Structures are given as structure tokens and as C-alpha cells.
Structure 1
């Protein structure tokens, strides 16, 4: 059964159709990678699923909740599907552990002791047990992104949306963040991620979707799409990556 479902979704900015008649389903425990050139709508799609952007046509469901309904409890949606962004969005005046605690306290209503225990457990999991009291400015980009992942996991989501989470990182820091995602994939976390890391997509994705023309232009198993796609725009996109030594 699909956990995330988009049906005939349309999204416009003024006169520009960013998403047009888009259909996508993500089943529980699937890892679906969205690929495509910058500006094709990958990030917009994720933001619509999380309720950060409204849509003008179609429907979006997370479990049995209709995200696109005007009466939906958007906090209930975000408790089910967490989102990690390209930029870390940590609170600069809070330490790493406080950043991971804050939503637990304010949204979930956990008591301070339970929230701190959860935060410490998750920061330890992402390799930051010795940096819980550091402020974001004292952390590397990779460490900040790992705090952001821990903060999202603290809400106990059933699925994760990951929006180009390594694109703001120096190349040497990318691996440490992708390792966390790899572990989550191996544990069966449902994930939908926009990425330019093609080798990573090949490794972890159960399915790859090439986004173009406002929708899913071509999709299939990772090896098929990344090695032998059928459609011309997918072929051209991957050819450019090969020529620029990115694939």
C-alpha cells in the first residue's frame, strides 16, 4: 500500500507550471530517488508533500491524511513525514542537543528529560555524542547536516523527505552524511530524496524517477534508469553527467 501518494498534482508560480499532472506513489520501506536538472521541480514536489507549498490541482496523501485538504492538521502530517533540507536551518542560539530537543518539547509535548535522552541517543547515532553542547557555528557543514537529520528523526517519522541534503557541503563531507542515509535505508525507512549523487542513488534506491516537463518523465529500477534509460531526455541528462565526470 502506498504511504505517499500524489494524484494529478498541479503547482504554479504565477504563469509558470512547475508541476503538471504529476502522479507518484511511494510504498512503505521504498527508497525513491528523484533526479533531474536544477529547476525541474524536485524540491517543489517535496515541499508540497510536507505542506510547505500549496498545490492548485490534484491531491496529495500521506497515509490516510490528505495534505492538500484545507482542513488537514499539518502538524499531524509532519509527524508522519519528516523533511531534511539542503540548508541545515539549525537555530544558531541553540546547542546541537537543544536543536534536537526543541520540536520534541513544543510539538510532541515530551518532558525535558525524555527529550534530552532521545536527543542524546540520536546525536550519538550520527556520531556527534562529543559535540552535543556545541553551537552550529562551531560545527562543520557535515556535522550540522547530521544534527538536522537527528532533529528530524527525533519526531519518530514514518517516512523522510530529503532535499539535496549534500549539495551545500564540501565534497569531503558528503560521505559522512550519505552514510547516515544509507543506514536508514538498510533499516527500512521509507524515503523520497532529491539528489545529484548518482552513484548513491544507484546504491540505495529501489526506484529512480527522472523529473521533467512538470512530472515523472521516466521511472524504474535504479540500475535500469541510470544505465539504460528508454526516453531521450533521460538519456541526454545522463550523457551530460558522464561528460562532466559526475556519473
Structure 2
């Protein structure tokens, strides 16, 4: 088996740079800037975009140890699915077109995501959030910001909600603390760390219900209690998380409305504390 077979597409291109002829290097540098283009275009189209000949494309593909162009394009398509901004980037377009495309895509993402939800599902999640002994919220990379936002919203009426792990901690200490009376909310937006699969497995094993919130590129997870797949499609290198934030907003409002007198009492106490400190 070729030693390069396990390498990523970009790793192959980067390693080849020092030994390339000028025209091949021009094509390789174009590939490094816009690797996702390989997934969408034929060899002739790529040659035209990069300003080189078809023969240059053929030679470079061979130098990268691919048998043919389609083999390289298949690997790029697979790596593009991981959500790397570099693979999703395309050549620049006007600001006006970017604004319009993103606004339209955000609305479409919201509609597609909420169409998958049902009232019984949302009601069950809301009740579990309210009745749980503790709520543990987990998120890595871009998901960490969303996890913190979700916790901040729910904290208005639910005291025992925690984003974990804290700085300097590992998840092991928290997994050992989770009981079947708790709820674990895991945000798994791409690009997900490889160890997230093991975290979900260990979390499910605690017996606690698990709410898993991801982008729609991930297949439905059968082991968790609820898996909500949000549409995060975007016409550019960065995913659009409007639907994820809207989902957090929906759940937070459902909890506030369902919490009744205890929720209002906590909100009243918070406002009194704000007044006492002159915080607002």
C-alpha cells in the first residue's frame, strides 16, 4: 500500500511543493488556497481556473500519488464533508451578493430545522430540563460558545446547569458525577473533535437522558434520547448557526413559560440582586 494513502489531500500537496516545476507549483498553490474547487470541477475546468494546461494537472495528480484525477477529487469531497473552512471557501464575490445569499440561507436553515421539530418532542425536552437534578452542557470548539449561550439562557430559571469541563479539568471528573436523574446536553457542531464519539458513549452509559444537538451533516444518533439536527448550510467557508441559536432561544422560552411560580420567583430574585448591586 502506498505510504501516502492515509495522508490528507492538503498534506500531499504541501509535501510536494519543494520538488515541483514552476507551472505545477502554480497549480499546487491554487489548490492550497481553494482545495474545495477540486470537488466541483473537471480537470480541464481546474486547469482553466488555475491558468495552467491540462497536462500540468495530469502531471501534478501523478506526483501526488493518485492514480487518476477522480481519485483525488473523491478524497477532496470526503474531506470537504468535515466542514473545514478552507475546503468550503471559494473565490471572492461581491459584498452585496454575500449579504443576500447569507440572509436567504439563514431563513432556509431556520425553516428546515423547525420543520423537523414536534411539539411533543420539545415539551418532553422542556420538562426534562426543568425536572433534572442537574443539567450538564458540553461543547468543544465552536460548540463551546453555543453551549455557554444555552447555559446562560436556561440559568435564568434553572440554577443547576453547568458547562463542562472547566478550564484545567477533564471530563472524567464530571462523567463520574452524572446520575440518571440528570440531563446532559451535548453540542456537536462540525468540525467535531474525534473523541466526541467516546464522550457520547460514556455519557449514555451513565443512564442520564442525552440531548444531542448537531448540524444535519451527521446521521441520526440512535443511542441518545433526542438528536436534533440543525440546518447549518452556508454559501461560504463558515457554517451558518442561526438555526442553532434559534433552537436555544425556543427551549429557553419554553422553560420560562413552563417553570411557573418557581421560575418567576427566581427571575424576581435575580432582578432584586441586580438592583442591589446597581448592575443594570
TM-score band, normalised by shorter chain: under 0.3
TM-score, L = length of structure 2: 0.25
Greater per-residue helix proportion: 2
Greater per-residue strand proportion: 1
Where relative contact order (Cα < 8 A, 6+ residues apart) is larger, the structure is 1
